[in-house]
Amino acid sequence: MRRILALLTVLTLVAACGGDGQSTTTDAPPTSAATDTTNTTVTNDTTATTGTAATDAGPLVLYSGRNENFVQPVIDAFTAETGIEVEVRYAGTGELATTLMAEGDATPADVFWAQDPAFIGGIAKEGMLTELPEDILSLVPERFADSEGRWVGITGRSRVFVYSTDLVAEEDLPASIWEVTEPEWAGRLGVAPTNGSFVAFVTGMILAEGEDRTREWLEGVAANDPVIFDGNGPIVDAVVAGDLDAGLVNHYYLLQRIADQGEVPAKNHFFPSGDPGGLVMAAGAGVLSVSEMPDEATELVRYLLSGESQAHFLTLFEYPLIEGAGTPEGQLPLDELPTLDISLTDTADTLDPALALISESGLS
């Protein structure tokens, strides 16, 4: 735990020094609704404060690594339906994981909603999450829930290679993630090495290919003069603007820009199944074992998997995980997406080496 906490702290500090001041692991909303929700606490009347902690009789406290644009409409609907007040602390997933580990049993958090499986899995490994009831776990495909039932996936997302159609010819696209270290991509690739989704992707690469090959890839990317960003959203914005050839991001960022701006000169390129670059992940949620409101916390997680909530997530182009909730327009169904055949639960086991390798590679 101490090693992971130390590495998380290093990456958080590095991210805090980033150029645009945005959280490194908080998902950026579409350009027209961009807001910096780092280190904010929002109650259901949307009044923002900082550093607020719930009292014993206070509202349910949610630590959210997902951005306010994505989360708050669902939280408001949950309160309207159940009468349960929720106070949300918005920050990066890695930053919130660091906070939870530092707070330990004294944390005011009742629910943790993470951007990726690795960080929430790390919290679960520390014994900080309680087992969820089977009626919640059974709502999603088995591969998108913790094998011990400590967290459940809320939405699915795929890692992709986003590229400018003005700057990159289709025949020049990399056939695998390994090719982005080649000389033709020097100075042309955007990465967000302290972003939670990038870290989770590296945990998957370690599981599939081992630490040595992952280290070689990270050092190869670092030596290839990449353009470093704080998050996925700015990478996509740079590609859309024609300021960057390509980048490694999650699939939905470009879809959000298209919905917001109309057709843009950019496309998502999916790596084939078995390639670490095409990992399909879950953004998951779990209930803190020290929660003083466990029933209400469990009810919130259940609500995130309701038809109404999943329909909202679909409008933001993430993959709903409950059966029959639909597929983002123009995208392959979830069970047809190319992906890496690993256990998302196991990404927690490679979080420590992933953080270390990223830090040592020179990318962060």
Residue 110 has pLDDT above 60, yes or no: yes
Q: What are phi and psi of 162, to 5 degrees?
A: -90, 140
What does the pLDDT read at residue 27? 44
Q: Are 110 and 342 in contact (CB under 8 A)?
A: no
122 and 12 assigned to the same domain:
yes
Residue 43 has pLDDT above 90, yes or no: no
**pLDDT tens-digit series, residues 175-233:** 999 999 999 999 999 999 999 999 999 999 999 999 999 999 999 999 999 999 999 99
**pLDDT tens-digit series, residues 298-320:** 999 999 999 999 999 999 999 99
17 and 78 assigned to the same domain:
yes
Higher pLDDT, 265 or 24: 265
290 and 317 assigned to the same domain:
yes
Domains: count for the chain: 2
pLDDT confidence of 291, banded at 50, 70, 90? very high
- Which residues 6+ apart lie within 8 Å of 262 measured at CB? none
183 and 239 assigned to the same domain:
yes
Q: Are 247 and 260 in contact (CB under 8 A)?
A: no
12 and 132 assigned to the same domain:
yes
Compute the distance between CA of residue 287 and CA of residue 159 in angstroms, rounded to an integer: 26
Query: Is 286 inside any structural domain?
Result: yes
What does the pLDDT read at residue 309? 98
What does the pLDDT read at residue 226? 98
Query: Is 345 inside any structural domain?
Result: no
CA distances from 340 to 17, 22, 199, 223, 317 (A): 33, 30, 15, 26, 21
Structure token digits, residue 154: 């809320």
Q: Which residues pair with 158 in a beta bridge?
A: 280
211 and 221 assigned to the same domain:
yes
Q: How many residues does the chain have?
A: 364
Q: What are phi and psi of 213, to 5 degrees?
A: -70, -35
Query: Is 342 inside any structural domain?
Result: no
Instruction: Please report, to the nearest 10 degrees, the dihedral formed by the alpha carbons of residues 296, 344, 69, 288 taken in order.
Output: 30
23 and 151 assigned to the same domain:
yes
289 and 273 assigned to the same domain:
no
- Three-state DSSP class for residue 138: coil
175 and 318 assigned to the same domain:
no
Query: Is 222 inside any structural domain?
Result: yes
**pLDDT tens-digit series, residues 1-41:** 544 555 454 444 334 333 332 333 334 333 333 333 345 56
36 and 141 assigned to the same domain:
yes
What pTM was estimated for this model as a whole? 0.86
Query: Is 348 inside any structural domain?
Result: no
- Out of 244, 279, 314, pick the residue that ends a domain: 279
Burial of 51 (0-12, 13-18, 19+ CB in 10 A): exposed
139 and 175 assigned to the same domain:
no
Q: Domain range for residue 294?
A: 2-155+282-331
Structure token digits, residue 35: 């807001």
| pLDDT mean over 55-66 | 82
What does the pLDDT read at residue 50? 31
Listed residue (75, 67, 74, 72) closest to 26, CA to CA: 67
Q: Using DSSP bridges, classify how beta strands 189-191 and 152-164 pair: parallel, antiparallel or unpaired.
A: unpaired
Higher pLDDT, 24 or 357: 357
Q: The domain that contains 207 carries what CATH number? A: 3.40.190.10
Tokens 């990726």 locate to 116
Query: Is 355 inside any structural domain?
Result: no
